[in-house]
Amino acid sequence: MADVHQEAPKPQPSYSDWNHIQIAYFSMEIAVAPDIPTYSGGLGVLAGDTLRSAADTGLPLVAVTLLHRKGYFRQHLSAEGVQTEEDEPWKPEEMLQRLEPLAAITIQGRPVMVQAWRKDIAGVDGHVVPIIFLDTDLDPNDPWDRQLTDHLYGGDTFYRLCQETVLGMGGVSILAAIGCQPSVLHMNEGHAALLTLGLLEEQVNEGNLLDATQADLDSVRERCVFTTHTPVPAGHDRFTMDQARQVLGEERTSALEKFGSCHDGMLNMTYVALRFSRYVNGVAMQHGRVSREMFPDYPVQAITNGVHAATWIQPSLQGLLDERVPNWRRDNLYLRFAIGIAPEEIRARHMDAKRVLISAVAARTGVQLQEDRFTIGFARRAAAYKRADMLFSDPIRLTQLAQECGGLQIVYAGKAHPHDDLGKNIIHHVFEAAAQLNSDALRIVYLENYEWELGALLTAGVDLWLNTPRRPYEASGTSGMKAAMNGVPSLSTLDGWWIEGCIEGATGWAIAESDDESIEAESLYEKLENEILPLYSRHPERWAEIMRMSLAINGSFFNTHRMLYQYVTNAYFPGDAPAQRILQPELALSR
């Protein structure tokens, strides 16, 4: 099980020095802890890992998100693989600390009061990164407004626009109310883009937004940083001008139009963020290139994502690293020195995680997997471009492979968004294929309710991490990074982070790219049959060497410590000596 990141001692340290905060990180979802269901998947996990690394590295940063009282959803799967959903309510009152100041914003012409809750993440040396959760469930608010912070990605586009107004404008107001004046505001995806409107309102003070001067716009732009997260057009939030007028009112909508935040006659959150940011980046090198093609008027940079090592490396391997590469927790770059650990030791630690996974599968499904059998993991959001069923495109061949290698086990997991019928069909199809193919030699299980803890079990406990996105739709992907840190190599199409992480035969394998899907599937089988399975069963010492390289080469780079260092150097404080700036915050305040 993932090590739950070290919590701040209770009672939580009081945080009177909001004025030392230099960076405010806004994200619609944040995976704060396994028992706080305020995230849906990769974006939220990335946000949480970013904050854990900010705490470890002593960055003066605050995060802002929504409370999501009813969470995302809990997934149930019937025996036939039909998904149903259930709310996941939780108790902020028991887990967070309520802050005093309230903020007031306007939605649909009505005043909406916003309160804030706080939770701290403490780093290895005790540095605290506070997270502010915004909440509109307050007595004086209209009943409609009270449920705006209930459901992550719930409701329709109108609900979404109201939520984004709470996040962006409410977030800026709350920061002002608590006396926090960050010099940098980071939008983690376009959901947070309306924070720019909040800043512009602060800038023009009581004046009319339409009278904002170039200097006003520049001063907002000077403070804003934007990370875009998907090359899938549907992933970019858009709202009709009519909705914008209803939710935001005439003046703000006209201002957004006037200042170039609309596209194709819609209010487009990506364009809001692009227009008002001095630095913009994609989340892997290829994603940077694709984003520059999508937004040719903007210089989109790239900083490749990472994961927080101490969160995702399984406990048994953590113990070995503590002995051999002390300091890896404070600075993930030290993972490079795992190259000095004997491969058999890493393999033995992996076997511990495989046993934990096998007993979790037995407890959840009643299916008993075997620890000496090669085990493939595939877990991700059920979206068409991820092609979860590529492995089943030639069922006869898959069965033959399983028989020839002495038995094959495949573990699946993943949710489909409640409105995504295509995604639900994919899950159903995997169930159907599994039911037909299951035999003594080939065991396929689908685990329900993919979330943090299951993600940790799978990425640490399987032997191979499989990923089959259709290029170039995977912006980065991070689950394969978790696997790599646990010594688990990937077999994947060359998309997202894997273009950077794949050293063929050393850290994993690439599936050949083709417009013809059957050629890609052929390549997948061919790699399994001719390279991966023989290596695993006949050359365990070479397999262990691959595990070690996954950890030492990819683990030491695809982590959020390195990622955040790149944000500090390139995005937050370019041109400044970053260390000096962080060590002497007073320099920043006088900027």
Ligand X SMILES: *Cc1c(COP(=O)(O)O)cnc(C)c1O
Residues at the site binding ligand X, with contacts judged by CB under 6 A: 41-42, 45, 380, 450-452, 455, 477-480, 482
* 447 vs 551 by CB, closer to ligand X: 447
Q: Which one-letter amino acid corresponds to residue 402? A: A
Quote the CA–CA distance of 404 and 266 in Å, as a whole number.
56
Closest separation between CB of residue 5 and ligand X, Å?
Answer: 14
CB nearer ligand X, residue 145 or residue 463: 463
- State which residue, 380 or 548, has the beta carbon closest to ligand X: 380
Collapsing DSSP states into helix, strand and coil, what is residue 465? strand
Q: How far is the CB of 313 from ligand X (least distance, A)?
A: 13
Q: How far apart are CB 284 and ligand X at their closest, in Å?
A: 11
- Which is nearer to ligand X, 56 or 451 (by Cβ)? 451
Q: How far is the CB of 137 from ligand X (least distance, A)?
A: 26
**Nearest CB to ligand X, comparing residues 298 and 452:** 452
Shortest separation between residue 352's beta carbon and ligand X, angstroms: 20
C-alpha angle 177-153-172 in degrees, rounded to nearest 5: 15
Other C-beta atoms lying within 10 Å of the C-beta of residue 556: 24
* Residue closer to ligand X (CB basis): 259 or 312: 312
Of 76 and 258, the one with the shorter C-beta distance to ligand X is 76
DSSP for 16-38, written as a single string: --GGG--EEEEES-----TT---
Closest to 373 measured CA to CA, from 455, 442, 454: 442
As measured in angstroms, the least distance from the Cβ of 103 to ligand X is 31
Q: How far is CA 241 from CA 265, 266, 273, in A?
A: 7, 6, 17
Min dist CB 113 to ligand X, Å, is 33
Nearer to ligand X by C-beta: 195 or 462? 462
Q: Cα–Cα–Cα angle for 284, 289, 293, nearest 5°?
A: 140
Minimum distance from residue 487 beta carbon to ligand X (Å):
17
Instruction: Kindly give, in sequence order, each residue whose CB lies less than 8 Å from that of residue 136, ignoring residues fewer than 6 positions away.
Output: 112, 113, 114, 115, 145, 146, 147, 148, 149, 166, 170
Instruction: Enumerate the H helices of 539-577 as residue ranges.
Output: 540-549, 560-566
Q: How far is the CB of 354 from ligand X (least distance, A)?
A: 18
Q: Which is nearer to ligand X, 235 or 249 (CB)?
A: 235
Spell 71-101 as b/e; 16+ CB within 10 A means b. bbbebebeeebebeeeebebebeeebbebee
The SS3 of residue 382 is coil
CA neighbor of 398 nearest in space, from 489, 512, 537, 533: 533
Q: Which residue is nearest to ligand X (CB)?
A: 455
The helix/strand/coil state of 140 is coil
Contact 483, 554 (CB under 8 A): no
74 forms beta bridges with: 86
Read out DSSP for 68-82?
A: -TT-S-EEEE-TT--
